[in-house]
Structures are given as C-alpha cells and as structure tokens.
Amino acid sequence: MFTPSADIILLLQSFSCCFTSPAFSKMVLLVCGAILTPGRRTVASALRAVGRSSSKTFGSYHRLLSRDRWSALGASKYLWSLLLENFIPRDQAIDIVVDETLERRRGKKIEYKGWFRDAVRSTRASVVTTSGIRWLCFCVLAPVPWSIRRWALPFLTFPCQSEKTCAKRKRAHRGSAGLTIDGLIEIRKWIGTERLLRLIADGGFTNMELLHFCKSLNVTQIGRLRIDAKIYDEPDNAPNKPGPRSKKGKRQPSFKDRIASGIGLDWRTVELALNDGNLRTLQIASGVSLWHVPNFDPVRLRWVVVRPSEGGSIKEAAAFFSTDITMGDEQIVALYAERWNIEVFFEEVRACLGFETQRGWTNRTIGRTTPCLFGIFSLVVILAKRLYPTGLPCRKAAWYAKEQATFRDVLAIVREHLWEHGFAVQEINQEVENAIGSAKNADHRLIPAALIAAVREMACYAA
C-alpha cells in the first residue's frame, strides 16, 4: 500500500485550508498518482499508480474534481506563497510571464471548447484552427540551482473562452487582456503594493487597457511593440498657450520608417547574455515616447529597437518596450527574452505530465483539472529544490555530457523519492536479503540489482 512520504505531505499541508480532511487525503493521493503515472493523467491512472486499483470507493476520488467544495483560486494563492518562499527573496523584484496555450479537446458536452488558431501547427503560409480550450497561464520566473536560465513556474490559470462560446453560454466575454487584469488584481491582493512586480508578455498583450491598469496597479509591463506603432513627442503645453491642454505632441516617424531611411536611430553595438547564457552581438537603439491608440490616453514608454549586428532587414528588426522609463535598454531586451521560458513549460507539461490527456468533461472538472496539472509542475520543482537545494543529479550517457538538468530529471528524482518512501523499497529489500541469506552481498536479490536500477530509471523517465 502506498503511503505518501513526509516531505510531500509537509509540502501539500500548505493547501489544507482549502479542503476538508477527507478531501485533503484524497488530494494527496491523486497528486502523488499524477506524478508517478505515465501516459494519460486520469483519476483511474493515478489510483493505479498508488496501488488503489482495488479500492471500492474510487468514485469519491472522481468527485474531488467534479463535486467536492474547494477553491482552485484559493489553492493558487497558497501555491504563489510557496513559490515566493522557496525561490524569490523579499528584496528582489517578482517577474511574471503570462501567455496562452491551447488544450486540444473534442466532445459535444464540453462547454468551454471553441475553435482557435493552433500556433504549433500553423505556419506563415497557412493557419490551422483546432477545437479545444484556450488557457491563460501566469508563471513566475524562478532561479533554480540546476539550470542557468530561470524556469517559468505556473501558479494561476484561467480558461479563456471565445466570443462565440461566451454568447452560447450567455456569459460576458473576457479576452486575454481582461483576464490578465483580473489575475493582476488578485496577485496585488495577495502581496500588497510594496513589492516590485514586472509583467512580461508578447505582442498579443500589448493592449492599451492593460497598460493603463498596470500603471494603476504599480506593475511594470515589458512587451513587444509593432514596428509601425504610432508614437508621439511629449505635448507642448506652454503656460500661456490658449485652448485645451494637449495629451500628445507631434507624431514621430515609425520604427519601420526610421530603419528604412537610416535616420532617427542612434545604433550602438552590445553583447547580451540572453536566455541560454550565450553572448549575442546585437545593435540596439532606444528612446522615450508616447504611444497612442484612439479612445485612450497616451502612455509614456521606453522603447528599444533591436536588429542583428550585421544590420539586417526591416523584417529582422524588433521593437520592445517597458512602462518603466528608467529601466536600462539591455535589461528590457534580456527580460523579454526570458518570456520564452513559458513556452518551454508548455512543451514540458505536455511531454512529461500528460497535458491534453485528461478526460473530464463537466465545467467544474475541466476548470479544476488543468490548473491542478499545471500546479503539479510547480510542486514537483519545489519538492526537488527541497530535496537537492544546491544541485541535482541528471541523466547522463557516454555520448551525451548533460550539464544542466531538465524537467525530466527533476520529475525522475521526485518519482524515485516517492517510490522509495511510499512503497518502502528499502524495507522490502532488507526482508528479501534476510530471507535468502545474502546480506553480505548487496548485489544479490531475487532480482539482480542492475536490473532493478535499469527498470527504475526507465520508469522514472517515462513520459
């Protein structure tokens, strides 16, 4: 019979306030089962992984996701606290990455589903649409001791429904920008307004409404601007000038026009260590301007235009911005480059934790299962950090000198820990040794030790 280790129980004890005692015990087993099982992450697979396949009360574990009363938003709050406690010191800024991902799902009874552009299967020449559920995910960028780059660890997830789906369900439509605002409001409630909070997002979140809300919530937003964005000078509001006061000055040439003409950008060559730690030589130019969109007040931004060191074409250039005009140019580019870590998380949660293999179809089950699966990703990393606070052994071979651990290595370490303590492997081996009288030679078991180690490694690294 599987018994959760003291480490995993101590970690999950932080969420006990969100559950009743019976629900909490079921939650602990399902979390352990979701970590241990390969393939589909269903409730039945999780129960088999922890040796509960003969349990007559299996229906109660399904009801934990479909009927039991507990708050996924409340669990997100405690997960957020754990991430800050384990990774982010109090005197450092908190960097949050937000982005969308698509869970491909079909089924007549799934109300959340809609037709969305599949970014993975689409190309510049053709756009592929897929039936599924779009999720908006907030991740905190956390430094881990076994990797050069910071990892994106999720803590808050919302379903982002299409306009057609909202109209069918008779609900008000909230787009990506609106849900991002809702998430930032919750985060500010959790930590107050004292700590520096920075939001990093791609060009799809460069929204004037979101920018104004970030300013009101004391959040610095870092993102990408269109190369033909409309930017303006500061207004010339002289004291004796008659008429209403202007909100913006003369329009400046766009970045596209400046690059084409070669006038208006003061290029300088810099070397930046981006996401992977390798130095790259780039040409950058920067400035401070007002970005204006009709029906909104202009926003003051610090923009940075980047192109390859050889010069490159207009298509190879990109423009980034920060709402903090005192931020350095290199820092803006480096922080935006770290946005890619959330894409790494999306890939790893599919490859290692069975994202898109869930089979629940009710609204409550869907609204809880995917956020919990994303949260398990963060819990695995937190537990690995507690088990190996300075470094983590990774899988190596004669043909592959692996220098940094990946999530597969982290998951394997946690799985091995749960098996050793949950199924009492050491005690079982000792009993076998005593039974066959081979205590003097630790390599002799009923099964050879090399075979046990090989099977254990294959099971730990199973997707």
Q: What is the DSSP string of 178-241?
A: HHHHHHHHHHHHHH-SSS-EEEE--GGG--HHHHHHHHHTTEEEEEEE-TT--EEPPP---TT-
How far, CA to CA in Å, does 85 sit from each of 82, 160, 354, 398? 5, 29, 28, 38
Q: Which two tokens stand for residue 252?
A: 């400046």
> 3-class DSSP state for residue 3?
coil
Q: Which two tokens stand for residue 351?
A: 């490859």
- In this structure, which long-range contacts are made by residues 89-93, counting pairs with CB atoms below 8 Å and at least 24 apart in sequence? 90/195, 93/195, 93/196, 93/197, 93/198
Alpha-carbon gap, residue 454 to 299, rounded angstroms: 59
At 397, give phi and psi (nearest 5°). Answer: -150, 170
Q: Which residue has 């970005």 as its token pair?
A: 291
Q: What is the pLDDT of residue 443?
A: 57
Closest CA to 176 of 197, 194, 158, 156: 158
Angle at which helices 340-353 and 363-387 cross, to 10°: 100
Positive or negative, the Cα torsion across 313, 316, 321, 326? negative
pLDDT in tens, the chain (463 residues): 678 888 999 999 999 999 988 999 999 999 999 999 888 899 999 998 888 888 888 999 999 999 998 988 999 999 999 999 999 999 999 999 999 999 998 888 898 888 998 888 888 888 999 999 999 999 999 999 999 999 999 999 999 988 888 998 888 888 899 999 999 999 999 998 888 999 999 999 999 999 999 999 999 999 999 999 999 998 876 666 666 778 888 999 999 999 888 888 899 999 888 877 778 889 999 999 999 999 899 999 999 999 988 776 667 889 999 999 999 999 999 999 999 999 999 999 999 999 999 988 898 999 999 999 999 999 999 999 999 998 888 887 888 888 888 999 999 999 988 888 877 644 445 555 555 555 555 555 456 666 566 666 667 777 7
The residues spanned by each domain of the chain are 1-70, 71-201+339-391, 407-460
Closest CA to 348 of 153, 207, 216, 167: 153
Q: Which two tokens stand for residue 6?
A: 């003291």
Instruction: Identify whether the C-beta of residue 390 lies closer than 8 Å to the C-beta of residue 384.
Output: no
Closest CA to 305 of 253, 257, 259: 259
Q: What is the pLDDT of residue 447?
A: 64
How far, CA to CA in Å, does 386 sit from each of 14, 382, 407? 15, 6, 15
CB under 8 Å to 178, separation ≥6 — which residues?
Answer: 209
Instruction: Identify whether the C-beta of residue 187 lies closer than 8 Å to the C-beta of residue 197.
Output: yes
pTM: 0.90
DSSP per residue, 388-431: -SS------BTTB---S--HHHHHHHHHHHHHHHHTTHHHHHHH
Q: What is the pLDDT of residue 272?
A: 87
Alpha-carbon gap, residue 14 to 82, rounded angstroms: 8
CA 443: distance to chain centroid? 43
At 301, give phi and psi (nearest 5°). Answer: -130, 150
Instruction: Identify whether the C-beta of residue 118 lies closer than 8 Å to the C-beta of residue 133.
Output: no
Write the single-letter amino acid at 150: R
Alpha-carbon gap, residue 255 to 319, rounded angstroms: 8
Q: What is the pLDDT of residue 434?
A: 57
